[in-house]
Amino acid sequence: METLLTAQAVFYYMAAASVASALLAVTRRNPVHSMLWVLALFLHMAGMFLLLNAEFLAAVQVIVYAGAILIFYLFVVMLLDLPDEEARPRFERHWPFAALVGLSFASLAWLARSDMDLFEVGIAAAAKPDGPPLGSLEDLGLELFGPFALPFEMASLVLLAAIIGAILLARNRGAGA
Amino acid sequence: MIVPLQTILGLSAVLFGIGAFGFLARRNIILMFVSAEIMLNAVNLSLVGFSRHLEDPRGQVLALFVIAVAAAEAAVGLGLVIALNRNKPGLGVGDITELRW
């Protein structure tokens, strides 16, 4: 009971901190500060994944999202020298409409989830009573190399296409051709 | 289940709304991409919540694919940003006014 309460308290802390860091990330003037707030958001998200029995996904979140993707964004921000970025307006002129869109989407999803008829647990759990624990590496590996083998291979193709596309786009034309 | 699924879905909805606002409102193209990452992360959270609720690993596998696609999107998007910036410095979406390079 004590541990459950602690876990709940930690979860609600993570939830509050992730909302706060997301808000700060989209409103800060300095792009590097925004990136660092997004980093905080991703790390809190990884903590929530841990609490929701997704250990492998939490590790992937820290290593791939926070460690690789976000650092890549930071590199690009630092590579492109933006001296006057902080002096220019952060938002487009139409930002109140954007706020309206975000707010109405969030409240629609909020309303949709509160009277959703929550189907009960038991169907999938009963199907494999003595399998590996949910979210463990073994569990995800069995799925990835079983029913999800084709999408898994397709993901490698998507990443290959992205690598080739990024090199072609960012290559210096003068030096290349 | 330490928290009800509805809490997780509500949190995911709020984060998605914040990301949508950032994507539509920010001037800086890199910060627009980052807002899209916030939206993808919100969706991942709801996938993991469903996976936990239904005791089914497929939600987590889907979230893994979302992360792979986000990586691909980041690579192509930032390649585009660098190419655009080489032609014409400035990262505002308002700076990109020509259809040809």
The type of residue at B12 is S
Q: How far apart are CA A142 and CA A137, in angstroms?
A: 9
DSSP code per residue over chain A: -HHHHHHHHHHHHHHHHHHHHHHHHHH-SSHHHHHHHHHHHHHHHHHHHHHTT-HHHHHHIIIIIIIIIHHHHHHHHHHS--TTTTTS-SB-TTHHHHHHHHHHHHHHHHHHHHT---PPTTHHHHH-TTSPPTTSHHHHHHHHTTTTHHHHHHHHHHHHHHHHHHHHHHS-HHHH-
Contact B6, A9 (CB under 8 A): no
Chain B residues closer than 8 Å to A82 by CB: 91
Q: Which residue has the tokens 């921000």?
A: A77
Tokens of A1: 């009971």
Nearest to B57 among A118, A135, A166 (CB): A135
Contact B86, A173 (CB under 8 A): no
Could you tell me which chain B residue has the CA closest to the CA of A172?
B83
Give the mutation candidate from B1, B29, B31 for the A interface (greatest A CB count, under 10 A): B31
Query: What integer pLDDT is reported at residue A177 of this predicted model?
Result: 46
CB of A33 less than 8 A from some CB of B: no
Per-residue model confidence as pLDDT tens digits over A122-135: 455 555 667 788 87
Residue with the larger pLDDT of the pair A49 and B2: A49
- The proportion of chain B whose per-residue pLDDT surpasses 90, expressed as a percent, equals 53
Q: Could you give the angle at which helices A70-79 and B29-54 cross, rounded to 10 degrees?
A: 180
Q: How far apart are CA A92 and CA B27, in angstroms?
A: 6
Per-residue model confidence as pLDDT tens digits over A53-103: 899 999 999 999 999 999 999 988 888 877 667 777 778 788 888 899 999
Q: How far apart are CA B87 and CA A72, in angstroms?
A: 21
What is the number of CB-based contacts under 8 A between chain A and chain B? Answer: 249
Q: How far apart are CA A41 and CA A38, in angstroms?
A: 5
Report CB contact under 8 Å: A22, B80. Answer: no
- The proportion of chain A whose per-residue pLDDT surpasses 90, expressed as a percent, equals 46
Chain B residues closer than 8 Å to A99 by CB: 21, 25
pTM, full prediction: 0.89
Q: How far apart are CA A14 and CA B10, in angstroms?
A: 14
Residue with the larger pLDDT of the pair A89 and A150: A150
